[in-house]
């Protein structure tokens, strides 16, 4: 491992923790609002319909943050302590934090129907994630983060483990699916696409394969 990576990773961990905390606070605000209304301690609390769209978008951002963390970890051998690296980390994680702040409304009581808020912010949130993922993939490719040995390991694992090969194939469609989700105006299509991004299948099929995250 590059010894300078430890300093970069500390900065990365600090910034990504803020984005994760923002997401968790969004879920917390919803639960507290509903608790106040049900307990009757806040007579002014209005009936808020949360629905599925905003929470699923929040889970999607959390999953993508976890995936981004694994990608950065895979680049530990090529990242060093340079101004360009620090600036790149700040831009990417700053973008994630900005995206995280847009998922949940700061004042839930002002949005009686969270679906309306979802349609206001979806394009910005999903479009932001798409740009960040493209920038990260480009940086990983240019820096040569994936070694020939790792590529051969993944190819061998795909041949010996068909579910893992299917999971890798699904990952190839992430970028067009992100774009489709950003542009679609259909409720059902949005839900299906947000479920599509779940990385649990890839994580489950790669479990136990030595050398893979």
Q: In the predicted model, is pLDDT for residue 200 greater than 70?
A: no
Task: Write down the pLDDT at residue 103.
Answer: 92
Residue 139 φ/ψ region, left for φ over 0, alpha for ψ in the -120 to 50 degree band, beta for the rest: alpha
108-137 pLDDT, tens digit each = 778 888 999 999 999 999 999 999 988 888
Q: In the predicted model, is pLDDT for residue 97 greater than 60?
A: yes
40-96 pLDDT, tens digit each = 666 555 677 788 899 889 988 888 887 787 777 777 666 666 777 778 778 888 888
CA nearest to 23, candidates 98, 104, 90: 104
Could you tell me if 114 and 105 are in contact, meaning their C-beta atoms sit under 8 angstroms apart?
yes
Q: In the predicted model, is pLDDT for residue 23 greater than 90?
A: no
Task: Write down the pLDDT at residue 154.
Answer: 66
Q: What is the mean pLDDT of the chain?
A: 77
pTM of the model: 0.79
DSSP string, the chain: --TTHHHHHHHHHHHHHHHHHHHHHHHHHHHHHHHHHHHTS-TTPPP-B-TTHHHHHHHHHHHHHHHHHHHHHHTTTT--S-HHHHHHHHHHHHHHHHHHHHHS-SSGGG-SBHHHHHHHHHHHHHHHHHHHHHHHHHHHHHHT-S-HHHHHHHHHHHHH-HHHHHHHHHHTTHHHHHHHHHH---HHHHHHHHHHT--HHHHHHHTT-TT--
């Amino acid at each position: 491992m590059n010894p300078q990576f430890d300093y970069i990773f500390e900065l990365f961990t600090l910034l990504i923790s803020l984005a994760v905390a923002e997401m968790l606070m969004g879920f917390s605000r919803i639960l507290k609002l509903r608790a106040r209304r049900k307990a009757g301690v806040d007579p002014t609390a209005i009936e808020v319909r949360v629905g599925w769209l905003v929470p699923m978008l929040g889970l999607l951002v959390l999953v993508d943050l976890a995936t981004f963390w694994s990608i950065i970890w895979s680049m530990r051998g090529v990242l060093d302590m340079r101004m360009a690296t620090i600036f790149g980390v700040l831009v990417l994680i700053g973008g994630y934090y900005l995206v995280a702040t847009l998922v949940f409304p700061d004042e839930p009581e002002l949005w009686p129907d969270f679906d309306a808020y979802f349609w206001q912010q979806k394009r910005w949130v999903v479009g932001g994630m798409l740009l960040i993922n493209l920038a990260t993939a480009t940086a990983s490719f240019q820096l040569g983060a994936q070694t020939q040995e790792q590529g051969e390991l993944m190819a061998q694992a795909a041949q010996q483990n068909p579910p893992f090969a299917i999971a890798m194939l699904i990952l190839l469609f992430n970028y067009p699916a992100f774009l489709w989700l950003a542009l679609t105006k259909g409720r059902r299509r949005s839900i299906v696409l947000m479920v599509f991004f779940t990385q649990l299948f890839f994580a489950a099929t790669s479990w136990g394969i030595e050398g893979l995250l």
